[in-house]
Amino acid sequence: MTAPLRVGIAGLGTVGAGTARVLAAHRDEIARRAGRAIDITAVSARDRDKDRGVDLSAVKWLDDPLALAADPDVDVVAELIGGADGVAKALCEAAIASGKHVVTANKALIAHHGQALATAAEARGVALAFEAAVAGGIPILKGLREGLAANAVSRVYGILNGTCNYILTEMRDTGREFADVLAEAQAEGYAEADPSFDIDGVDAAHKLAILAALAFGTQVDFKSVHAEGIRHVSPVDLAYARELGFGIKLLGIATNNGAGVEQRVHPCMVPLDAPINHVDGVFNAVVAEGDFVDRVQMEGRGAGAGPTASAVVADIIDIARGNMVPGFARPAADLEPPRPVPMSAHKGCYYLRFEVVDKPGVFAGIAQALGRHNVSMESIIQRARDPGEPVPVVMTTHDTLESDMTEAVAAIAALDAVVMTPRIIRIEDL
């Protein structure tokens, strides 16, 4: 009988402990599916006494996670520490150099160093697997790499951050302000104490960079991802969006238009009847568009112990089976250099909201600012208020270049009659 595959886990936090529980709970079935047993032989974590819901008393404990790379009783290192650099990066590099397979859920690590790690792993003849780095339990990387291998993928997009999706859903349904819902998300454990990576779009940008590389066969190019968060989305915007026939989602969108790859993360207005508009709460969804398959959408929980651990264990099972496909669908040396399309070259429709002093000539000034910068209005909503109070104005535009829209908004903001920073949300035809 084939010898068991021996796994060392670095980090026993939410995902690490979840991985240990999955391997223990389904040990026999996993062995049948993998063709061999999978055993945890070593772990590295700070607190040996913490109850993690699984019996690890027979497992070797190592104080230094880097020791897993040199442990002769470990075939696969599961790096579940996190962080783009530091111990996580050093452990993966050392494990690969020692001839050990690496499985990680670390999107920041892969977004920043995936190319170098993949090159090293292929040279050493070991696997670098990172299904759990994008969209938790949704097997989107495997879907792109294997299920859609016969397609030329032109666009991949989705809801890649459950925290932001939860906040936007609650704001829409309750009318509460961003800060109030964020505090609730933190209390419920959906948001970190420092939520910046989530609400400023960085987490989604890491994931989008990985998706784009795998979908288009390019090197990972995180630095070219345009990232905006949801801090400035308000219940007012969500209400106007619904009136106009849209919902608001934080989306990551990567498009290969032939001239290059556009990668962007920002709040989007999407049609109310778009399937992705119905993905609410902490759920994620990813859509891939291929030339033969048309459009495929996968939806599920994008974070948490169970979903993410499920993806980690799936990668370990693949290694146990001997499925050694390149992590980015093609050898690292064959990944094309990035050809980034700048955000300024993006073209689409826009939603604008601002408040103005209700006096003669105001709309003439706004219209002139838009016209000077080649922006054409499609629709406008104006609400009356008491005399002397600022008047809210909402408008949508026809297709416009991002660079033109940026200049037009700056010109409008400089008008004396405009009393708030204009809000802008891009409209997506999905």
How many Cα atoms sit within 13 Å of 276 on the Cβ side?
28
Q: What is the distance in angstroms between the CA of the first residue and the CA of the last residue of the chain? A: 51
pLDDT given for residue 49 in this prediction: 78
Q: Which of 264, 50, 52, 49 is nearest to 40 (CA)?
A: 52
pLDDT given for residue 385 in this prediction: 67
- d(CA 163, CA 247) in angstroms, rounded, equals 17
The residues assigned a catalytic role are: 207
**Domains of the chain, with CATH numbers?**
5-133 (3.40.50.720), 140-301 (3.30.360.10), 344-427 (3.30.70.260)
Please list the pLDDT of the chain residue by residue as tens digits (430 residues).
589 999 999 999 999 999 999 999 999 999 999 999 999 999 999 888 788 889 888 899 999 999 999 999 999 999 999 999 999 999 999 999 999 999 999 999 999 999 999 999 999 999 999 999 999 899 999 999 999 999 999 999 999 999 999 999 999 999 999 999 999 989 888 888 899 999 999 999 999 999 999 999 999 999 999 999 999 999 999 999 999 999 999 999 999 988 899 999 999 999 999 999 999 999 999 999 999 999 999 999 988 889 999 999 999 999 999 998 899 999 999 999 989 999 999 999 999 998 888 777 788 888 899 999 999 999 998 877 666 678 889 999 999 999 999 999 999 999 988 988 899 999 998 8
pLDDT given for residue 363 in this prediction: 82
Q: Which of 323, 311, 317, 309 is nearest to 36 (CA)?
A: 317
Amino acid, single-letter form, for residue 35 = G
pLDDT given for residue 302 in this prediction: 84
pLDDT given for residue 387 in this prediction: 63
pTM for the predicted model, two decimal places? 0.95
pLDDT given for residue 388 in this prediction: 63
- d(CA 252, CA 50) in angstroms, rounded, equals 37
Sign of the alpha-carbon dihedral angle for 160, 161, 162, 168:
negative
pLDDT given for residue 166 in this prediction: 95
Are 68 and 90 in contact by the 8 Å Cβ rule? The answer is: no
Instruction: List C-alpha distances in Å: 62 to 31, 41, 42, 43.
Output: 26, 11, 7, 6
pLDDT given for residue 167 in this prediction: 96
The token pair that represents 392 in the structure block: 């809210």
